[in-house]
Amino acid sequence: MAKAKKRVVPVHKIGRNWWLPVLSGIVSVAVGIIAIAYPDITLRVLGIIFGINILLVGGIALLMAFDTNSDTTHSVMRLIVGFIAVIAGLTLLVRPGASVAAVLIVISFWLIVVGVADLLRGITIREGRWTSIALGVIGIAAGVVLVADPDIGITTIALIAGIVFIVRGLAEVVYGFDLRRAARAM
């Protein structure tokens, strides 16, 4: 029985795009700070802020999906995450004040899907493994918490989402610089 060849991508090629997770992380931290600083803002404003952030993260994921230096599994996962994030971001931008439940479902779904993608990345890529696994666990846990209690209030959504965006953002910045450091070490 023949084994399938696993495509090995040199770290220095993956590290070329180190700035994408750093940019995404910085934006996520900024959005998290806004959500925590102003948790009582209207649902419409919260939806627009989260929508812009998720749309940007989705766009970056789509750009990374078409990187010719990534292996197929990660490119497909980035494509799926990017597509879902763009849809979720557009949904929040088009209907930002529709209802607390709609915002909750969109953010929860996005956090869970991205969490699974981060876990997959952590399991399959050595560089930044623990950062990716931590991102995955945090994303899945936050998504489950948000979806488990549909009566959660807007202030609570803002605070939980703000904390998650800050933690995710910081972890993405660390991951980006880990990629850069690994690429330079080659």
**Is residue 114 within 8 Å of residue 85, measured between CB atoms?**
yes
> What is the average pLDDT value for the chain, to the nearest integer?
81
Amino acid identity at 180: R
pLDDT at residue number 149 = 75
More confident residue, 15 or 74: 74
Q: Pick from 140, 129, 167: which is nearest to 25 by CA?
A: 167
Which residues are CB-contacts of 54 (< 8 A; sequence separation ≥ 6)?
Answer: 85, 88, 89, 92, 106, 107, 110
pLDDT at residue number 151 = 64
Residue 112 has pLDDT above 60, yes or no: yes
Which residues are CB-contacts of 17 (< 8 A; sequence separation ≥ 6)?
Answer: 63, 64, 67, 179
Q: Pick from 49, 5, 2: which is nearest to 27 by CA?
A: 49
At 127, list the tokens.
């560089």
Average pLDDT value for residue range 17-34: 88
Question: What letter would DSSP give residue 5?
Answer: P
Question: What letter would DSSP give residue 6?
Answer: P
**Is residue 31 within 8 Å of residue 53, measured between CB atoms?**
yes
Q: What confidence tier does 42 reach under pLDDT thresholds 50, 70, 90?
A: low
pLDDT at residue number 140 = 92
Question: What letter would DSSP give residue 70?
Answer: S
Average pLDDT value for residue range 149-165: 77
Residue 1 has pLDDT above 50, yes or no: no
